[in-house]
Amino acid sequence: MLHFIKQYFALYKILCRKISQTFASFWWKKKADQNRGIHWKSWTYLTLPKVKGGLGFKDILLFNRALIAKQLWKLLTRPNLLVCKVLKAKYFPQESLFTVPKKKNGSWLWNSWIEVRDSMQEGARYDIRDGKSMKIWEFPWVPSLLGFKLSSSPTDTTTHLIWVKDLIDQTGRHWNTQLVQSTFTDTEAQTILNIKSLDPLTPDMLVWDSGTNGAFSVSSTYSKLVAQKMENNGLCREQQSLNKTTTSEARIHLSTYILWWLWKARNLWIFEDSWMEDKIVAELAGKDWGQCAAILILVVSAVVEPFLGISSLRLADAHNGLGVATS
């Protein structure tokens, strides 16, 4: 499939399902002339990240949505482009892309983009600088809040507060603390007061909360969509938090202990006709690893670190992240 089609047009779910079926048939069939093989695992699970038990194949539907989100990001961050000017003049001349509803007379392309907008909006927020272009009650601008929006509603005494700049003092560099605390709940007020990016000479800036340094990326958007799918479909497994990298030193070391105990369990079964349950094998391997790791951390801290400058914190964090017992 041509890349620009996936990048600009929202694919139908049935089309994505058929493409996924074609991929699955290709990987599961044993011979080239075989129509299909035995599908030992659902394609839904194979598209999960490797650290979640999948194989990391792309979910066509979600990847398509992540690519379209990139175009929406251009509409928000590059308003001087000709296509952005045309779309804004037609669909939201007086509104924000975040607040414009789906149009009955809108094109199929635009309405499909609006559907993607709703999922993209969860990761986009504004970094407040001068506060002149941000509406207090409508725009996503408060970090750590759900949807980056305020849950409070304007009252009769706060209807005059429309723009974020109304909450900033005359210098433009500090919040009007008394006004903020009297207008919002304690949690919202404290979150707002913790924003330290105020600058009267700089306009408000849109940032991608899940990206590096606020920059938008398709990969981070796709990861967020996959996480939402896992949560909605009940695919999240209860497990200990592992290191972010699947080839970390800690996991490699732990795997050697698991293999060793699997070999011992095999010998017990063959030579002594004694069966060791999987859970016991894992517990014994984790116990041995925990004892060895604890000793290694002490050695690195006392001997190696002073001479080579190697920090033991990384090893300790990896050890704690695996959640294994040391006793």
Pairwise CA distance, residues 20 & 57, whole Å? 10
Per-residue pLDDT reduced to its tens digit, 75-126: 888 889 998 899 999 998 888 888 888 888 888 888 888 888 877 777 888 8
Low-confidence ranges of the chain (pLDDT < 70): 1-2, 30-37, 211-212, 235-252, 293-327
One-letter amino acid of 260: W
Q: What is the pLDDT of residue 241?
A: 39
N-to-C CA span, the chain = 55
* Nearest C-alpha neighbor of 230 from the set 59, 16, 113: 59
Q: What is the pTM of this model?
A: 0.64
- Buried b / exposed e along 292-305 (16+ C-beta atoms within 10 A): bbeebbeebbeeee
Structure tokens at 141: 């601008």
- Residue 166 carries which DSSP code? G
Report whether 200 contacts 130 (CB < 8 A): yes
Give, for 313, the enclosing helix (H) or strand (E).
Answer: helix 313-321
- Buried b / exposed e along 156-179 (16+ C-beta atoms within 10 A): eebeebeebbebbeeebeebeeeb
Residue matched to tokens 């045309």:
86
* Nearest C-alpha neighbor of 327 from the set 291, 284, 297: 291
Report whether 297 contacts 319 (CB < 8 A): yes
Q: What is the pLDDT of residue 64?
A: 92
Pairwise CA distance, residues 120 & 108, whole Å? 19
If you count them, how many residues does the chain have?
327
Pairwise CA distance, residues 323 & 241, whole Å? 8
Q: How many CA atoms lie within 13 A of 25 on its CB side?
A: 11
Residue matched to tokens 């004892």:
291
Pairwise CA distance, residues 45 & 54, whole Å? 5
Q: What is the pLDDT of residue 323?
A: 47
Residue matched to tokens 């069966």:
275
Per-residue pLDDT reduced to its tens digit, 261-284: 888 888 888 888 888 888 888 888
Structure tokens at 144: 């750590």
Pairwise CA distance, residues 250 & 321, whole Å? 9
| Interacting residues of 110 by C-beta distance below 8 A, sequence separation 6+ | 87, 91, 103
Q: What is the pLDDT of residue 32?
A: 62
Pairwise CA distance, residues 252 & 246, whole Å? 9
Structure tokens at 102: 């789906």
Q: What is the pLDDT of residue 5?
A: 79
Pairwise CA distance, residues 113 & 110, whole Å? 5
Query: How far, in Å, are 12, 22, 67, 70, 282 from residue 6 at the CA level?
Result: 11, 17, 7, 11, 44
